[in-house]
């Protein structure tokens, strides 16, 4: 056991003053204390080892404990421990260049500290861009129900999940929500692709009804993650881009989860051929969670509206720690490793060969749908296939709890949609070994079959 002092973390007699996100909600999670991590595994203060099947919060793309990344942070801190991005520092300049290269077109990147902040910056950029290009009325931001975009009030207002929102209402004005491409429970009918395209059509209807001159942007995750792993037809993403272009609505692609290899492409939107979002937001896998960093990459032609010299039209948004030199150095090393170790190819290969085995669970009466892309997988759990009634919360907790007893951490779309928190989530580090992936498949399969 590595921890020297062992505290009692129970709610009743807590000797910890920490308020974690599960406090007074999930006792088991509340009391888990991690002390170390290596590869896809972490060890708690009882010496128990767990395979982290959701990569922390879907962020540990390269897993725990990569010495190379630790060294990159330490070396940068020794050289230049801090510097604000009201001027430039080398790792930020280099990283912005790298991000532009990875996105396949010229993008200008603004750095922050998290995914929420990356989205907040995007919303402000959208409003200012339209202001400075003769369309000051285009302030509305449309997102999808079940989408997740962060915790801060703007990002939360774009997050259209009732249970995460209602206690903090009212939301920021100007945020609207449209139906997602959720073919399993489609209100549109038809096959998956047809239903997805109708969901895209609804976006256009909304833009028309609201008045094109009032709509500034549409924000989407290429694959809704926290809202239940929803994987639309790639035609949906292409159609959405066409609609946005037609109405001068900027397309913000939230790649916070899907960026940096998670889905078997460097960025999720790259699955949809020809799509090139106006703004791409990222965090999590950008540093594999080693240090905080958020990024808002903006197409150069949009950035051009912010650079007229002598005019007061620059982006009025300064972040003390955004683009911290150590975070940027870590991101550069992280990307270097992703490229060197061909992580994207690995995710494609092993996602299919190993996690693909979980497709077989569709035979089980409680599994309504298996949704999977790369190392991102959702199992929609139901009481029976015909009724599609969502499996109840207690059963869902039982699945997650039993996996934990076996040494596997998995997730569920907890507390997102009233009565529909019934998607089991598996999203392991992209460096998970073949044995790790076998362990995930065997454990999840055995627990679900024991239901």
| Residues near ligand PMP (CB under 6 A) | 57, 114-116, 119, 148-151, 221, 225-226, 254, 256-257, 283
Residue placing its CB nearer to ligand PMP in the complex, 294 or 351:
294
Residue placing its CB nearer to ligand PMP in the complex, 225 or 348:
225
419: Cβ contacts below 8 Å, ≥ 6 apart: 390
> Looking at beta carbons, which residue is closest to ligand PMP?
115
CA distance 355 to 327: 31
Q: How far is the CB of 46 from ligand PMP (least distance, A)?
A: 28
Q: How far is the CB of 146 from ligand PMP (least distance, A)?
A: 11
CB 2 within 8 A of CB 36: yes
Roughly how many angstroms between the first and final C-alpha of the chain, as a whole number? 34
Q: How far is the CB of 113 from ligand PMP (least distance, A)?
A: 8
Residue placing its CB nearer to ligand PMP in the complex, 152 or 201:
152
CB 151 within 8 A of CB 116: yes
Q: How far is the CB of 130 from ligand PMP (least distance, A)?
A: 23
CA angle (375 as vertex; 374, 380 as ends), nearest 5 = 95
DSSP one-letter string for 14-35: -------TTTTT-HHHHH--EE
CB 34 within 8 A of CB 42: yes
Q: How far is the CB of 55 from ligand PMP (least distance, A)?
A: 11
CA distance 377 to 288: 19
Q: How far is the CB of 33 from ligand PMP (least distance, A)?
A: 21
- Phi/psi at 355 (nearest 5 deg)? -65, -25
Residue placing its CB nearer to ligand PMP in the complex, 158 or 367:
158
Q: How far is the CB of 294 from ligand PMP (least distance, A)?
A: 6
Tokens of 165: 């929102």
Residue placing its CB nearer to ligand PMP in the complex, 54 or 102:
54
Tokens of 66: 């990569």
CA distance 211 to 188: 24
Residue placing its CB nearer to ligand PMP in the complex, 119 or 157:
119
Q: How far is the CB of 21 from ligand PMP (least distance, A)?
A: 10
Measuring CA to CA, which residue among 52, 414, 56, 22 is closest to residue 257? 56
- Nearest-10 Cα torsion for 44, 405, 422, 144: 20
Q: Which residues of 350-375 are buried (b: 16+ CB within 10 A; e: fewer)?
A: bbeebbebbeebeebebbbbbbbbbb
Measuring CA to CA, which residue among 351, 356, 281, 199 is closest to residue 268? 281
Residue placing its CB nearer to ligand PMP in the complex, 256 or 424:
256
297: Cβ contacts below 8 Å, ≥ 6 apart: 99, 100, 103, 107, 108, 109, 279, 280, 281, 282
Q: How far is the CB of 156 from ligand PMP (least distance, A)?
A: 10
> Is residue 308 exposed (0-12), middle (13-18) or buried (19+ Cβ within 10 Å)?
exposed
Residue placing its CB nearer to ligand PMP in the complex, 43 or 411:
411
Residue placing its CB nearer to ligand PMP in the complex, 326 or 448:
326
Q: How far is the CB of 308 from ligand PMP (least distance, A)?
A: 31
Q: How far is the CB of 71 from ligand PMP (least distance, A)?
A: 24
DSSP secondary structure letter of residue 136:
T
Residue placing its CB nearer to ligand PMP in the complex, 108 or 159:
159
Residue placing its CB nearer to ligand PMP in the complex, 146 or 354:
146
């Amino acid at each position: 056991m590595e921890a020297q002092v062992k505290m009692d973390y129970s709610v009743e007699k807590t000797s910890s003053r920490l308020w974690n996100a599960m406090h007074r909600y999930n006792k088991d999670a509340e009391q888990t204390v991690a002390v170390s991590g290596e590869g896809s595994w972490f060890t708690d203060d009882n010496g128990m080892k767990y395979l982290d099947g959701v990569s922390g919060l879907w962020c540990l793309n390269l897993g725990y404990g990569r010495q190379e990344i630790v060294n990159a942070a330490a070396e940068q801190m020794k050289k230049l421990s801090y510097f604000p991005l009201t001027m430039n520092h080398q790792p930020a300049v280099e990283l912005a260049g790298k991000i532009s290269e990875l996105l396949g077109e010229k993008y200008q990147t603004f750095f922050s500290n998290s995914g929420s902040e990356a989205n907040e910056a995007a919303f402000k950029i959208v409003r200012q861009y339209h202001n400075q290009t003769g369309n000051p009325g285009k302030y509305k931001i449309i997102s999808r129900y079940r989408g997740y975009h962060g915790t801060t009030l703007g990002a939360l207002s774009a997050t259209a999940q009732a249970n995460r929102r209602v206690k903090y209402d009212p939301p920021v004005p100007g945020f609207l929500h449209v139906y997602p491409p959720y073919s399993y429970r489609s209100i549109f009918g038809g096959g998956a692709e047809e239903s997805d395209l109708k969901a895209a059509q609804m976006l256009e209807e909304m833009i028309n009804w609201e008045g094109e001159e009032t709509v500034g942007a549409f924000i989407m995750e290429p694959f809704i993650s926290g809202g239940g792993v929803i994987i639309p037809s790639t035609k949906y993403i292409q159609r959405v881009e066409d609609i946005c272009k037609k109405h001068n609505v900027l397309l913000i692609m939230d790649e916070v989860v899907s960026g940096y290899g998670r889905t078997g492409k460097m960025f999720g939107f790259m699955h949809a051929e020809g799509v090139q979002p106006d703004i791409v937001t990222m965090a999590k896998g950008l540093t594999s969670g080693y240090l905080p960093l958020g990024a808002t990459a903006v197409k150069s032609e949009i950035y051009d509206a912010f650079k007229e010299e002598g005019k007061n039209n620059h982006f009025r948004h300064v972040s003390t720690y955004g683009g911290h030199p150590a975070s940027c150095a870590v991101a550069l090393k992280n990307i270097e490793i992703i490229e060197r170790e061909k992580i994207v190819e690995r995710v494609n290969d092993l996602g299919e060969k190993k996690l693909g085995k979980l497709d077989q669970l569709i035979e089980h009466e409680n599994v309504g749908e298996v949704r999977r892309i790369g190392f991102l997988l959702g199992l929609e759990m139901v009481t029976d296939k015909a009724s599609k009634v969502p499996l109840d919360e207690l059963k869902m907790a039982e699945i997650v709890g039993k996996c934990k007893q076996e040494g596997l951490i998995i997730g569920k779309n907890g507390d997102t949609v009233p009565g529909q928190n019934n998607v089991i989530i598996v999203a392991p580090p992209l460096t998970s070994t073949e044995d790790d992936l076998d362990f995930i498949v065997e454990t999840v399969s055995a627990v679900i079959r024991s239901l």
